[in-house]
Structure 1
Amino acid sequence: MLAFANAKINIGLNITEKREDGYHNIETVFYPVKLYDVVEIIDAATTHCVIKGLTLPGAEKDNLCLKAYYMLAEDFDLPPQQICLLKNIPIGAGLGGGSADAAFTLKLLNDKFQLGLTVAQLQVYASSLGADCAFFVENKAALAKGIGDELAPVDLDLSAYYKVLVKPPVFISTAEAYACVKPSMPEVALEDLIKLPVASWRTSVYNDFEDSISKAFPEVSALKNSLYLAGATFALMSGSGSAVYALFEKETRLPELEKDNHVFYNV
């Protein structure tokens, strides 16, 4: 069995406070986009993961797909599986690729072995693997609060827009991004701002990571400016970066950005 694990973008990202446990509370909207990894599970003699495509840093034991398998195996009698992961979603980009892979692995195992886990139960398992992992269980636009694991559906449809995603050759760790931000409560809740026309988001919907990330990596702010100069209605860095996405009202090609970056069209 296989599944196409899609990426997400963040429509706004407010870091509202630092918690006593050291994590941060946020307010953001997760929105699924059409950029995919491929996850496949196959019966095998031993459980392991085969990775193709982009190279993943770290040891195999840290792979989220394997962690998802072993988590379910603690509660269910699962036979060994080979997990095949074709990695296309850029790493260190703020697109949630690893979380998506883990969530889709959980869903594949649930379906293949008829475990009978509900959406809510899958979300509980997913949340223990990553803050944004639970989003990919239902995989629909959602307002996320807490550390990104408190989800509520939102009525947001961006299908009328042509979406461009640009990943510069920069890797930004989540810990590095959080180290430079100052939490604050927004004057207007994001769930209210996204109800406004998309054209107004440019002056009202922000990503709190952008200022510090752009100082450390000026190519990120340069990309955003280039997207606006190309006619974007709205552009923003996704998550903790470094990918920047843009919404256009018509099909757009940006060959000048393709020279030094990974550019994905109509995601």
Structure 2
Amino acid sequence: MIDFPNAKINIGLNITERRADGYHNLETVFYPLMIKDALEVIESKELNFQSSGIVIPGSSEQNLCLKAYYLLKQDFDIKPVDIHLHKHIPIGAGLGGGSADAAFFIKLINQTFALGLTPDAMMQYARQLGADCAFFINNQPVYAYGKGDDFEPVSLDLSAYKLVLVMPPVHVSTAEAYGGIKPVPAQTSLKGLIKLPVTEWKAHIHNDFEGHIFKAHPAIAAVKDELYNAGALYASMSGSGASVFGIFEKLPDLSRLEKENQVFYGV
């Protein structure tokens, strides 16, 4: 079986407090983005993982798809599988690509071996693999809170707009992103702000990571400025970066950005 895990963007991201368990409470809106990996799972005599496309850092044994396999293996007598992941979603971009791969892998295993897991049950497994992993089970826009794995559905449809994603040649680690954060309770909840017209988001919806990350990586800040110069109604870094997305009424000419960055149009 084959499926195509997609990315997500964060629309707004408020880090509201540090938790006793070392995580942070936050609020954000996850929205699916149609930049996709390809993931194939085939029954095999032995468990095997291989990847192509963008090089995935670290050892393959640490890949979330394998971790998801072993997690399910604890509760189900599933056979070994051949896993082939073709990586296209930029890595270290705040797009949740690894989490998407794991969530889609859980769904493929559920189908392949007819496990009968409900979406809620699959989400419980996904939550054990990453804070945003469970989002990709239902893959619908949500208001996320707590560690980022508690969800409420939101009525949000951006299909009338053109989304553009820019990935600069910069890597921002999770440790760097959270290391510069000073949690502050949000004055107005994002759950209400997301209902505003997109034309008003610029003044009200922000990503708390941008302040210190833009200082450390001016190239990311420059991308956001360029998107607004090109006519974006709203632009923001996604998650902890380094990618930046823009929402436009019509596709812009970003040829200057294309010289030094990856640019994905109409996603």
TM-score class, shorter: over 0.9
> Aligned AA for 1:186?
A
Look up the match of 1:174: 174
d(CA) in 1 for partners of 2:6 and 2:137? 11
CA-CA distance at 1:45 after TM superposition: 2.0
Deviations 1:209-236, CA, capped at 9 Å, x for gaps: 0001001101111000000000000000
Q: Please list, as runs of the form range in 1=range in 2, the aligned pairs for 1:52-71 lying within 5 A after superposition.
A: 52-71=52-71
Q: Please list, as runs of the form range in 1=range in 2, the aligned pairs for 1:33-44 lying within 5 A after superposition.
A: 33-44=33-44
Deviations 1:107-141, CA, capped at 9 Å, x for gaps: 00001111000111000000000000000000000
Look up the match of 2:246: 246
> 3-state SS of the aligned residue for 1:264?
strand
Q: Is the 8 A contact 2:46 2:82 kept in 1?
A: yes
> Aligned AA for 2:18?
K
d(CA) in 2 for partners of 1:151 and 1:30? 9
TM-score normalised to structure 1 length: 0.99
Look up the match of 1:237: 237
Choose 250-259 or 215-224, whichever is displaced more: 250-259
CA-CA distance at 1:249 after TM superposition: 0.3
d(CA) in 2 for partners of 1:48 and 1:257? 39
d(CA) in 2 for partners of 1:10 and 1:157? 14
Deviations 1:77-118, CA, capped at 9 Å, x for gaps: 111101100000000000000000000000000011110001
Structure 2: 5+ residue runs without aligned partners?
A: none
> 3-state SS of the aligned residue for 2:246?
strand
Look up the match of 1:103: 103
> Aligned AA for 1:245?
F
How many residues end up aligned between the 2 structures? 267
Look up the match of 1:93: 93
d(CA) in 1 for partners of 2:48 and 2:218? 39
CA-CA distance at 1:53 after TM superposition: 0.2
TM-score normalised to structure 2 length: 0.99
Q: Is the 8 A contact 2:68 2:102 kept in 1?
A: yes
CA-CA distance at 1:14 after TM superposition: 0.2
Structure 1: 5+ residue runs without aligned partners?
A: none
Deviations 1:154-179, CA, capped at 9 Å, x for gaps: 00111111000000011111111000
Q: CA RMSD in A?
A: 0.6
Look up the match of 2:196: 196
> 3-state SS of the aligned residue for 1:9?
strand
> Aligned AA for 2:19?
R
> Aligned AA for 2:84?
C
d(CA) in 2 for partners of 1:207 and 1:162? 21
CA-CA distance at 1:252 after TM superposition: 2.1
Q: Is the 8 A contact 2:141 2:153 kept in 1?
A: yes
> Aligned AA for 1:192?
G
CA-CA distance at 1:31 after TM superposition: 0.2
> Aligned AA for 2:32?
P
Q: Are residues 1:151 and 2:151 paired?
A: yes
Look up the match of 1:18: 18
> Aligned AA for 2:185?
M
Look up the match of 2:135: 135
Q: Is the 8 A contact 2:168 2:243 kept in 1?
A: yes
> 3-state SS of the aligned residue for 1:86?
strand
d(CA) in 2 for partners of 1:67 and 1:12? 30
> Aligned AA for 1:38?
A
Query: Sequence identity, in percent?
Result: 57
CA-CA distance at 1:253 after TM superposition: 3.0
CA-CA distance at 1:48 after TM superposition: 1.6
Look up the match of 1:115: 115
> Aligned AA for 1:58?
G
CA-CA distance at 1:44 after TM superposition: 1.7
Q: Is the 8 A contact 2:106 2:122 kept in 1?
A: yes
Q: Is the 8 A contact 2:28 2:144 kept in 1?
A: yes
> 3-state SS of the aligned residue for 1:75?
coil
> 3-state SS of the aligned residue for 1:83?
strand
